[in-house]
A and B are shown apart, each in its own frame.
Chain A
Amino acid sequence: GAGVSQSPSNKVTEKGKDVELRCDPISGHTALYWYRQSLGQGLEFLIYFQGNSAPDKSGLPSDRFSAERTGGSVSTLTIQRTQQEDSAVYLCASSLHGTGAGANVLTFGAGSRLTVL
């Protein structure tokens, strides 16, 4: 696609429920990233996928968070048993290159705003 697409754009859920957030990166981009943007906290790295390599999951805040990327394209971020502190905007980004300087030239999606009641 022309840009990075994320869905849903807004999600309101009750504490304890599971949620899935979807990201469709730019076609041909080899690397995909998830970041979390909390109010007044900037962006927090969550996870990084590059080709067929093992993902870097070092930013996932707890084992309730997981992500997968199928076929080197679409990615899903899953949050189980959501808590109120999970409320944030979840941003997906992709880059043409997965390593070197080009790995940092990210194109972001508009984000999925998650509100946990």
Chain B
Amino acid sequence: AQSVTQLDSQVPVFEEAPVELRCNYSSSVSVYLFWYVQYPNQGLQLLLKYLSGSTLVKGINGFEAEFNKSQTSFHLRKPSVHISDTAEYFCAGGSNYKLTFGKGTLLTVNP
């Protein structure tokens, strides 16, 4: 069965601290991997994507993620977070048009 697992449902951090949001996927769902962000009362926005090529991908707002095939992981990182990064983050994977989403990680950045 296809699955995307986000290992933390909530991650609280202080402003300017580094953060890592963890995501593991089943090999059947890999090929294309994504991180989406959902700010309060808004729709999902694409943060970054891995389609092929370099395993380190950079996205908007200073986020980056690394595709690790051997560990079937696609963790999201930011070296220094801001209050405005408070949102829910979704990892997703798919091989064609049907994306499988994780259950989301709520990132809360505190002053």
**A100 sits at the interface (CB 8 A):** yes
CB distance from B28 to the nearest CB of A (A): 15
Contact A104 B101 (CB under 8 A): no
Contact A108 B97 (CB under 8 A): no
Given A48-B98, A56-B98, A99-B97, decide whether A108 and B103 contact each other with a Cβ distance below 8 A: no
Contact with A along B52-96 (1 / 0, CB 8 A): 100000000000000000000000000000000000001010101
**A25 sits at the interface (CB 8 A):** no
Q: Could you tell me how many residues of chain B have their Cβ less than 8 Å away from some Cβ of chain A?
A: 25
Contact A110 B42 (CB under 8 A): yes
Contact B43 A110 (CB under 8 A): yes
**A52 sits at the interface (CB 8 A):** no
Residues of B within 8 A of A95 (CB): 97
**A77 sits at the interface (CB 8 A):** no
CB distance from B35 to the nearest CB of A (A): 12
Q: Which of A12-54 contact B (CB under 8 A)?
A: 31, 33, 35, 40-45, 48, 50
Given A91-B43, A101-B52, decide whether A48 and B90 contact each other with a Cβ distance below 8 A: no
Residues of A at under 8 Å CB distance from B?
A: 4, 31, 33, 35, 40-45, 48, 50, 56, 59, 91, 93, 95, 98-101, 103-111
